[in-house]
Amino acid sequence: MAKRIEAHGVTSYYGSFKAIDGVSMTIEPKSVTALIGPSGCGKSTFLRSINRMHEVLPNARIEGQLLIDGQNIYDRDVDVTAVRRMIGMVFQRPNPFPTMSIFENVVAGLRLNGVKKKSVLEEVAEKALRSANLWNEVKDRLGRPGAGLSGGQQQRLCIARTIAVEPQVVLMDEPCSALDPISTLAIEDLITELKNQYTIVIVTHNMQQAARVSDRTGFFSIDKTGDPGRLIEYDDTAKIFTNPSVKKTEDYITGRFG
């Protein structure tokens, strides 16, 4: 189910501004990869290039290749909606649909795909909420608004919504930045469980978090404002945090810049 991601020379633009330059990396299925680096170095841009969300902005485009299990998702005949279904995304701020119940939030993607049968929707909702470690907290109030949950619960609801449509890759853009430490730990535990099924890529500013949850870490950086971000080093997380090969990585993880 989980898929391998291969980026070959991915260069992403906003109009004429080159935000990232020539990013190449291979991300193994059923692994967690953390993207770290100073603000503005292009981590989120790269993340959004993985599921073709980058090009949603006017004049935004990419060069290079992004292969998911060998298929270039930027090929002309590729169905963009199918790509985004296969590669789900969780954002910085929990964003449940405000007018919908907890249940409707989870099944929203299935309804869009035309699933109507109540028993199927109920089954999927329970499975997704269990996988997101939220079922026990919400099973007695599935009809209540999703927006009435705590921040951490809302983020787990958004994760349940993402996995309800059975993606193969889950991208997370600073998923804990709006959460308290306890909710953060709950999400980190969840990420560790989800990697049994999915390929996960997470952007995080929190280096302890990268060290805790990821198998591999990619360090991005820029030389100066206006320059494009580049992938400086990509290796096993333990190596990046204990014995990086590049001086710039070491300077960053030891807090000398960024």
* Rg (the chain; Cα; Å): 18
19 binds ligand ATP (CB under 6 A): yes
Region near ligand ATP per CB under 6 A, out of 34-42, 62-70, 131-139, 158-166:
34-42
Question: Which one of residues 5, 23, 45, 219 is an interface residue with ligand ATP (CB under 6 A)?
Answer: 45
Return the number of the residue (23 or 142) whose C-beta is nearest ligand ATP: 23
14 binds ligand ATP (CB under 6 A): yes
Smallest distance from the beta carbon of 41 to ligand ATP, in angstroms? 4
Return the number of the residue (14 or 97) whose C-beta is nearest ligand ATP: 14
- Report the run of H or E that residue 87 belongs to, with start and end: strand 87-90
151 binds ligand ATP (CB under 6 A): no
136 binds ligand ATP (CB under 6 A): no
Return the number of the residue (3 or 43) whose C-beta is nearest ligand ATP: 43
Q: Which residues contact 130 (CB under 8 A, 6 or more apart)?
A: none
Q: Which two tokens stand for residue 209?
A: 């978090």
Strands 230-236 and 87-90, by their bridges, are unpaired
- How does DSSP assign 12-56, residue by residue? EEETTEEEEEEEEEEE-TT-EEEEE-STTSSHHHHHHHHTT-GGG
51 binds ligand ATP (CB under 6 A): no
Q: Which residues contact 166 (CB under 8 A, 6 or more apart)?
A: 1
Question: Which one of residues 3, 43, 161, 212 is an interface residue with ligand ATP (CB under 6 A)?
Answer: 43
41 binds ligand ATP (CB under 6 A): yes
Q: Are 27 and 51 in contact (CB under 8 A)?
A: no
Total of chain residues touching ligand ATP, rule CB under 6 A: 13
Sign of the C-alpha dihedral computed for residues 196, 201, 202 and 207 taken in this order: positive
Return the number of the residue (37 or 175) whose C-beta is nearest ligand ATP: 37
49 binds ligand ATP (CB under 6 A): no
For the chain, the straight-line distance linking the first and the last C-alpha, in angstroms and rounded, comes to 37
Region near ligand ATP per CB under 6 A, out of 21-29, 40-48, 66-74, 134-142:
40-48
231 binds ligand ATP (CB under 6 A): no
39 binds ligand ATP (CB under 6 A): yes
Q: What is the 3-state secondary structure (H, E, C) of 186-235?
A: HHHHHHHHHCCCCEEEEECCCHHHHHHHCCEEEEEECCCCCCCEEEEEEE
Return the number of the residue (170 or 203) whose C-beta is nearest ligand ATP: 203
Q: Which two tokens stand for residue 50?
A: 């993985």
| Per-residue interface string for the shown chain with ligand ATP, residues 64-83, x marking contact by CB under 6 A | --------------------
Which residues of the chain form contacts with ligand ATP (CB under 6 A)? 14, 17, 19, 37, 39-45, 57, 229
